[in-house]
Structure formats: C-alpha cells, structure tokens
C-alpha cells in the first residue's frame, strides 16, 4: 500500500561543519539522496546557508535552523525569515528542543516565529517534545499538546500545506536512547487525533509528523514502517553517509 503522505527526511546539522566537511556531505547528498518518493531537506548553520543552496541539487531543500519573529531590527546575532528566503532557501526549523531548553525560548515566542515565517512564504518545521522527567511522570501528551497549541494558534487554514511537524522526545536527542517504534507511533497517533479535534480531520490526515531522537541507519526502517511516522528529523546521523540509508527507508 503506497504512503498517504510523502516521506520526509530532514537533516539538522546543528553547530557543525566547515566548507571542507560540508563539501563531503553535499557530494553524498547529490549522489545518493535524490529520491522521487522522499522529500529531503537539510539545515546547515546560518553562515553556510547560501553556500549549501548553491552547491546542492535543487530537488533537495535547505532550511535555516532558527529565525526571529520579525523582518529586521536590533537583534544582534539573529537572522530573519526574510534573510533565509533572500538566499534562496525555503524552510526553517523552529522550536527545536535545544532552542527551548538551552536558549530558553517559550511556547509563545515559538508560535510567534511560526506565524511570521509562514507570512513571508517559508515552509516551517516546528518541533515539540517532552523531557525525561515529563515522560516518566506520564505527562508526554500534556506537554506536546501544550506546545502544539501555541503553534496551531499561529497557522491559518491555508498555510497547513507548508507545515511539517517534528516530534522529538528530548530524552532521546543525542543520547543514544531512542523511543521504540511503538512508543513513537503512540505519540504520533495521539498527535494526529488531537489535531483532528483541534484543527480538522483533513489537516490531521494530511500533515506530516516526523520523528527525531537518535535515529540511525540501524533503527530507521522499523520506525518508518509505522503508519503515523512520516519521516525523520535527524541530527548527528545527517552528517554521515548513514543519512543515505535513512533517506532510502522512505522508499520501502
């Protein structure tokens, strides 16, 4: 049975890379990661956005890792959605757990960023996810639904085709621990049911929900087989040729 939603493979490079290393990544992306069945998007550090966009196959998208909620101004060290667009990139990741938990970004601020990025025409990849103590306290759904509410409040009905959601349990990011396929599927299904009630059944059916958190070449096929997991947002593995296997898991 063919997938209802086109598989998505996102590579978040985080604060890694230099031109030499990026050239190596671009080489394997262009050679092995262009797949008609999979939408591939990579997110280099901001200083390399234009460099990557110029060298990468145009069928692969390029994302900013973050942006602010306005077009310009006295916000030293930040970038805007307009700037990402100006260098011909068409995606932005917002609300990644590191922005929430290392840099202290609130649900409200992330919602405002989503609203502005969509308003200038970017595709948006908002991230949600619970900490270990929240999962252990049985609060996974409470946390991710609260985070999602701040996001959906800032998305107009005609903008949902430019939104891809990433569920990334904080306890599984970069730790080597990952949610089992069953744990991830349970949260994804719960999110889809919640979206059906809060937004619409059509949006819930069409929106892609990615899993992120220690996705590897070893576990990607089992995760990809779950009906409500529509792809991955990958950190460390996207810097290596393992990413090829992760992309190809979407064609199976």
- Of the candidates 87, 85, 95, the residue with the CA atom closest to the CA atom of residue 126: 95
Q: Mind telling me the catalytic residues?
A: 96, 168
CB atoms within 10 A of CB 125: 31
Residue 1: inside a domain, yes or no?
Answer: no
pLDDT digits (tens, 9 = 90+) for 71-97: 999 999 999 999 999 999 999 999 999
Query: How many domains does the chain contain in total?
Result: 1
Residue 207: inside a domain, yes or no?
Answer: yes
Residue 95: inside a domain, yes or no?
Answer: yes
**Given 3-state DSSP classes, what are the helix, strand and coil percentages for the chain, each rounded to the nearest 5?**
45, 15, 35
Residue 131: inside a domain, yes or no?
Answer: yes
Between 65 and 4, where is the model more confident? Answer: 65
Mapping DSSP to helix (H, G, I), strand (E, B) and coil, where does residue 83 land?
helix
pLDDT digits (tens, 9 = 90+) for 102-122: 999 999 999 999 999 999 999
Query: By percentage, how much of the chain surpasses pLDDT 90?
Result: 92
Looking at every residue in the chain, the average pLDDT score rounds to: 96
- Of the candidates 160, 152, 148, 162, the residue with the CA atom closest to the CA atom of residue 61: 162
Per-residue pLDDT band at 179 (split at 50, 70, 90)? confident
Per-residue pLDDT band at 1 (split at 50, 70, 90)? very low
Instruction: Look up the CATH number of the domain holding residue 113.
Output: 3.20.20.70
Residue 54: inside a domain, yes or no?
Answer: yes
Is 224:246 a contact under the CB 8 Å cutoff? no
b/e map 138-164, b = 16+ CB within 10 Å: eebeebbbebbebbbebbeeebbebbb
Residue 2: inside a domain, yes or no?
Answer: no
Lowest mean pLDDT among 76-85, 168-177, 216-225: 168-177
> The domain containing residue 244 runs over which residues?
7-251
State pTM to two decimals.
Answer: 0.96
């Amino acid at each position: 049975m063919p997938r209802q939603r086109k598989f998505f493979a996102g590579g978040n490079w985080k604060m890694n890379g230099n031109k030499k290393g990026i050239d190596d990544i671009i080489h394997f992306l262009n050679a092995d990661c262009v797949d008609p069945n999979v939408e591939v998007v990579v997110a280099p550090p901001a200083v390399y956005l234009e460099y990557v966009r110029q060298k990468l196959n145009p069928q692969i998208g390029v994302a900013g890792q973050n942006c602010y909620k306005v077009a310009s101004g006295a916000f030293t060290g930040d970038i805007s959605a307009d700037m990402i667009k100006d260098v011909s990139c068409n995606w932005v990741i917002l609300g990644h757990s590191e922005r929430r938990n290392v840099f202290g970004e609130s649900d409200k601020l992330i919602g405002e960023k989503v609203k502005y990025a969509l308003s200038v025409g970017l595709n948006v990849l908002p991230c949600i996810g619970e900490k270990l103590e929240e999962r252990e306290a049985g609060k996974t759904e409470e946390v991710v639904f609260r985070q999602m509410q701040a996001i959906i409040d800032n998305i107009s009905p005609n903008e949902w085709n430019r939104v891809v959601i990433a569920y990334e349990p904080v306890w599984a990011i970069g730790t080597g621990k990952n949610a089992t396929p069953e744990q991830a599927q349970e949260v994804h299904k719960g999110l889809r049911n919640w979206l059906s009630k809060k937004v619409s059944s059509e949006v819930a059916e069409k929106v892609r929900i990615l899993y992120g958190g220690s996705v590897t070449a070893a576990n990607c096929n089992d995760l990809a087989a779950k009906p409500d997991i529509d792809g991955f947002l990958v950190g460390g593995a996207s810097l290596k040729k393992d990413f090829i296997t992760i992309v190809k898991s979407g064609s199976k």
